[in-house]
């Protein structure tokens, strides 16, 4: 009879559905109220393009150094890869308790680290982290 307690039914998800309905309804209501009750004064200053309080000038298509964006993308890439180490660290004791599962998991993590280091080596060899150019 214990296996009957773990049955997943639609009624188990009812509180989540109700919360989602209320969240979407609240957001919709607030947007509608602000559109209805908010001030509508369109002046020349309000209709101008705003960019961090700086007057815009020149062409927006001017060439720009890609190094900053490359570093940012590489940071996100390697940051996300490091997140995949977290489940292994949290479940390390469970993996160590089962020798077969422990070795399989350990080898999978070693393979992941190898791919990680190969990618990092490739990036260094390509010179993506050098700022002097």
53-109: pLDDT as tens digits: 666 677 767 777 777 788 888 888 888 888 888 887 787 777 777 777 778 888 888
Q: What is the pLDDT of residues 2-27, one digit of tens each?
A: 555 567 777 888 999 999 999 999 99
Measured CA to CA, the distance from residue 74 to residue 67 in angstroms comes to: 10
Check: CB of residue 93 under 8 Å from CB of residue 35.
Answer: no
Q: Is 112 exposed, middle or buried (0-12, 13-18, 19+ CB in 10 A)?
A: middle
Measured CA to CA, the distance from residue 19 to residue 47 in angstroms comes to: 38
Task: Please tell me the pTM assigned to this model.
Answer: 0.45
Q: Is 98 exposed, middle or buried (0-12, 13-18, 19+ CB in 10 A)?
A: exposed
pLDDT at 3: 54
């Amino acid at each position: 009879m214990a296996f009957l307690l773990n049955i997943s039914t639609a009624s188990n998800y009812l509180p989540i559905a109700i919360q989602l309905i209320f969240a979407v309804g609240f957001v919709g209501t607030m947007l509608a109220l602000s559109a209805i009750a908010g001030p509508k004064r369109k002046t020349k200053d309000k209709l101008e393009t705003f960019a961090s309080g700086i007057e815009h000038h020149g062409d927006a298509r001017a060439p720009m150094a890609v190094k900053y964006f490359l570093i940012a993308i590489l940071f996100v890439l390697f940051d996300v890869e490091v997140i995949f180490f977290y489940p292994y660290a949290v479940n390390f004791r469970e993996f160590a308790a089962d020798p077969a599962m422990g070795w399989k998991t350990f080898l999978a993590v070693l393979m992941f680290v190898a791919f990680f280091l190969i990618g990092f080596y490739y990036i260094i060899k390509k010179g993506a982290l050098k700022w002097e150019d």
